[in-house]
Amino acid sequence: HIYTHSKSEEKELQLSSAFASLAVLNHEIIAVVVASQTVTQEGSRLSGVFTENPRFDDRKTSAASEPILLTPDVPRQFKEFEEEMKKRGGFDDANILNQYIDKVLYSQGCQSISLDNHIWMLQKILNMWRVQGKDQSLKQLNRYMVIACFHDSGINIDHECLAMFLDCHPKRNEYKRLLHIYTSGEKIPIHNKDTFEEFHQLLLFILETYREGLNQMNAATGDDGPSKEEFRKAASRVNWAGFLLHRLNTGAALRMHLQTIGESLSCLATPSLPKSCKNEADAIQGEVDIFLSDDDLTAHEAGVPFNEGNDSADEEPLNSPQDADGRDNASDDGDPSDDGHAVASADPGDLNDNTLDDVLDGEPDNRDEDEDEFEEINSEAGYLATLKWMKLLVSQFNSASLLVIKLTTDTVSLRILKSPPVGVDMMSWEELFAADSNFFPTWSHRPGSRLWRNQDIAKFITSGVNANRRSTSSRAQNALNAWEQILKTYHSDYQTLFARVVQSVTWIQDQTSVPGCKESAADILKVFERNVVDILADPCRTSKVTHNLRYIADVCTIFGGLSVTNFKGSLHCEAALGTLISTPVRDIYPQYSSLLAEMQQYGRVIGTSKRCCPVCTTLLSIITPQATGQPFLIRGSHRTISSCTLPDWTPRHIVKELIEHFGQSLREVIGQLMERTHWAPLKYSPSAGSSALSVTSLVRRLPVNTKVVMAGPVCCLTSILFSHSDLLL
């Protein structure tokens, strides 16, 4: 059931998501909750709590064993600068902050900023808007954000979309018509038949400046004077180009322009290639020259005439990134998710229920989950894909503008939730599937579920983990590398490369003990019975060889992952916040009672720097805030299950429900893998009574201090298997 939301909740989601986006310094994942309060003397106040996924290194450095709420201290560097400026006299708080950003932060070169100092700076800048006005606060926030968050911004700028876009279109820096419009003061649309080509060249120039500036900032890591000066100049260029690109994203001209050249952007609408085959991408076909002819403006090869639809002068001005998103979605086919937010869904596999548009464009880090976001971008029509991607490039500029525009309270008070580090201990899969284990369901109610006994699953995993997977994987990768080289080059030495492939595949057929790999090797050798030239000329045969080689490598990867004995996942930040807000204050959790009471002033809205994983989405769908009793409201979710755990204060019945949910999915996937690898017959009838599990005993026999380790193995196994779900098709 999708609950209705209020305007205040929508604004709360926008603010919390914008805060989370701006809090990302170097690929962290951040979650934020906010609440508006009225303080008699100080006026209105917005309070917020930030938290991040604990890092793996925190296990060694953190001494905290309990979660705590901290108020960030004034950075020592700012305190010293402020004291010096006040000694000189004549400087107010706004002027001191402005000079600190320009003269200290911009001049000190590439420096790492802690999350505590970063949150304090965000709070300081936002608390000055009443004094200096929103325009000045936005300028300050953008300048600061560029040097604080450039590591994360650089991830997006190097995506293949930009290289494709810039390489497909020639660049010339001539803007006579645009300059005339700018200086004339006339109300002429900046995108029309006369300015079309210049608009495109300006767009390319902005993108190129933005990319080069971020790359220069990342390269200027030295502590010497020239490196610091290079960093300062590059940061100024990034600020200029990023803000301009953000402004283009909030108007109609960019959308109309991309629609006009949409046919030439089709190369950007292809799905992202898997990591194992990124090098297979063919050269871009149908590169387009865009130019202005005497008769009409055309995109050659695309054959698309100039789009004379609504121009930017006819549309209502856009005040926020959300307005732009809403207008973009207005032309779609009435997707109910276009309102830009989602109530957490209990079914992470249901696209209609679970994968919804973001309130903000996310800023993916370099983790596997980000493939989901790029696949979504690349799957749409070319111009929409490019438009979304350009918004992604400047998502932090969008977030900064949204915060300054939407913020109406007099003061902002921000704190940081420090979660305790997660231990490395993890229940082994042997224990998980043990006959007397209550941690993993022995059967599933789901239609078509494979009713494997836990003992059969344990035997299957044992056979794979103990197999010669390293040598099998090495030979499969060697064969795959040689095979890909054959497909790319077709050079005269293909016979030598082909012999390498045959030798490796023959060894796999004769020597491997990894389930399913022997059969796949036999399928490859059957294809190789034909003449090599005939094989290479037949796409079906070459595809079959490629598929089977990747299949062998992926199966070895799965079993390699199952052999890991230490937990390397994390406590996801939205799970930490959600459980603190929803868990009742009871005597059973005395060590958390004060924190629980303090956190339960917050409602059901959780903003995140990227969309939630299926585990957190499911968790947030079955817990409800103490204050509202309604499901949590989030940005949406992606499909990748990553290794994660639950906090100690999670109620036992919630842990049980999560394990049952993902345990049943895992049972289904393992059964499919067992069949796909030919380890087990396609039809199987379990012995009588093998599926008898008292679900109530799961809660009865579960000690409080084992909740964390019990969720870990299920999510670890699930993440390993679902990340290779293409093997099961």
Residue-by-residue DSSP string for 614-659: HHHHHHHHH---TTT-S--EES-B-S----EE--TTS-HHHHHHHH
Query: Side chain identity at 170, as an amino acid letter?
Result: P
Residue 334 confidence class, pLDDT cut points 50, 70, 90: very low
- The tens digit of pLDDT for each residue in 676-689 reads 887 765 443 333 33
Which domain covers residue 491, as residue numbers?
A: 467-562
Residue 578: pLDDT band with limits 50, 70, 90: very high
- Distance, first Cα to last Cα, the chain: 31
| Helices of type H across 512-613 | 517-527, 532-536, 539-562, 573-582, 593-599
pLDDT in tens, 636-660: 888 888 888 888 888 888 988 888 8
Residue 709 above 80 pLDDT?
no
Note the Cα 466 to chain centre separation in Å.
Answer: 34
CA nearest to 428, candidates 718, 712, 720, 59: 712
Ranking 169-173, 405-409, 438-442, 679-683 by mean pLDDT, the lowest is 679-683
8 Å CB contact between 484 and 553 = no
Mean pLDDT value of segment 563-584: 88
Range name among 192-206, 393-407, 715-729 with the lowest pLDDT average = 715-729
Q: What is the pLDDT of residue 504?
A: 96
Average pLDDT over residues 533-557: 92
> What confidence tens digit (pLDDT) does each residue in 589-641 have?
788 888 998 998 898 999 999 889 999 999 999 998 887 778 899 988 888 88
Question: Which residues are registered as beta bridge partners of 38?
Answer: 44
pLDDT at 586: 75
Q: What are phi and psi of 604, to 5 degrees?
A: -95, 5
- Measured distance CA(625)–CA(604) in Å, rounded: 6
Q: How far apart are CA 106 and CA 146, in angstroms?
A: 10
Q: How far is CA 257 from the centre of its chain?
A: 28
What's the pLDDT score for residue 357? Answer: 33
Q: How far is CA 146 from CA 111, 151, 163, 462, in A?
A: 12, 9, 22, 50
Question: Rounded CA gap, 156 and 364, in Å?
Answer: 7
- In 333-428, alpha helices (H): 351-354, 370-378, 382-393, 395-406
What is the H or E stretch that residue 177 is in?
Answer: helix 176-184
Q: Mean per-residue pLDDT for 430-455?
A: 71
Between the CA of residue 287 and those of 198, 284, 290, what are the distances in Å?
A: 19, 7, 10
Type of residue found at 161: C
Q: How far apart are CA 27 and CA 153, in angstroms?
A: 9
The answer to whether the beta carbons of residues 7 and 102 sit under 8 Å apart is no
Mean pLDDT of 142-160: 79
pTM: 0.74
DSSP string, 307-333: --S--TTTSPPP-SHHHHHHHHHTTSS
Look at the block and give the residue holding tokens 């090869």.
301
- Of 149, 104, 144, nearest to 122 by C-alpha is 144
* Domain-embedded: residue 486: yes
The whole-angstrom separation of Cα 712 and Cα 567 is: 7
Q: For the chain, what is the domain count? A: 1
**30-39 and 607-608 beta bridge pairing:** antiparallel
Of the pLDDT bands very low, low, confident and very high (cuts 50, 70, 90), residue 717 is low
Taking the C-alpha atoms of residue 302 and residue 379, their distance in angstroms, rounded to an integer, is 19
What average pLDDT does range 715-721 have in this prediction?
Answer: 54
**For residues 433 and 455, is the Cβ–Cβ distance under 8 A?**
yes
Exposure on the CB side of residue 190, measured as CA atoms within 13 A: 22
Identify whether 542 is part of a domain: yes
- Is 555 inside a domain boundary? yes
Helices 539-562 and 707-722, packing angle to 10 deg:
170
Whole-number Å distance between alpha carbons of 37 and 43? 9
- Asked if 127 and 411 touch (Cβ cutoff 8 Å), the reply is yes
Q: Which helix (H) or strand (E) holds 202?
A: helix 196-219
**pLDDT of residue 291 exceeding 80:** no
C-alpha closest to that of 627 among 594, 657, 658, 583: 583
Instruction: Tell me the backbone φ, ψ of residue 600, rounded to 5 degrees.
Output: -80, 10
Q: Name the region of 70 (left: φ>0; alpha: ψ -120 to 50; beta: rest).
A: beta
Cα torsion angle, 362, 27, 209, 141, sign: positive
Q: Is residue 502 part of a domain?
A: yes
More confident residue, 272 or 444: 444
417 phi/psi in degrees, rounded to 5: -90, 115
DSSP state, residue 380: S
Tell the burial category of 607 from Cβ atoms under 10 Å away from its Cβ (0-12, 13-18, 19+). Answer: buried
| Statement: residue 53 has pLDDT above 60 | yes
Q: Residue 241 domain-assigned?
A: no
Q: Exposed e or buried b for every residue in 27-66, given b needs 16+ CB within 10 A?
A: ebbbbbbbbeeeeeeeeebbbbbbbbbbeeebbeeeeeee
Q: Has residue 4 got a pLDDT over 90?
A: no
Residue 202 confidence (pLDDT):
86
CB 202 within 8 A of CB 175: yes
335 is a domain residue:
no
Backbone φ and ψ of 30, nearest 5°: -120, 140
Residue 535 in any domain: the answer is yes
Enter the DSSP assignment of 37.
E
What pLDDT, on a 0 to 100 scale, did the predictor assign at position 223? 82
Least confident of 6-10, 89-93, 299-303, 365-369: 299-303
H or E element, residue 43:
strand 43-52
In Å, how far from its chain's centre is CA 616? Answer: 14
**Cα separations (Å) of 452 from 104, 145, 667, 673?**
64, 53, 8, 12
- The CA distance from 68 to 608, in Å, is 20
For residue 331, what pLDDT is reported? 35
d(CA 349, CA 274): 20
User: For residue 390, is it within any domain?
Assistant: no
Three-state SS at 416: strand
Position 694 scores a pLDDT of 24
Alpha-carbon distances, residue 10 vs 339, 340, 353, 634, 635 (angstroms): 10, 9, 18, 10, 11
How far, in Å, CA of 643 to CA of 560, rounded? Answer: 15
pLDDT tens per residue across span 377-396? 444 566 777 788 888 888 89
DSSP letter assigned to residue 514: S
Place of tokens 């180009």: 241
One-letter amino acid for residue 76 of the chain? R
Asked if residue 16 has pLDDT above 80, the reply is yes
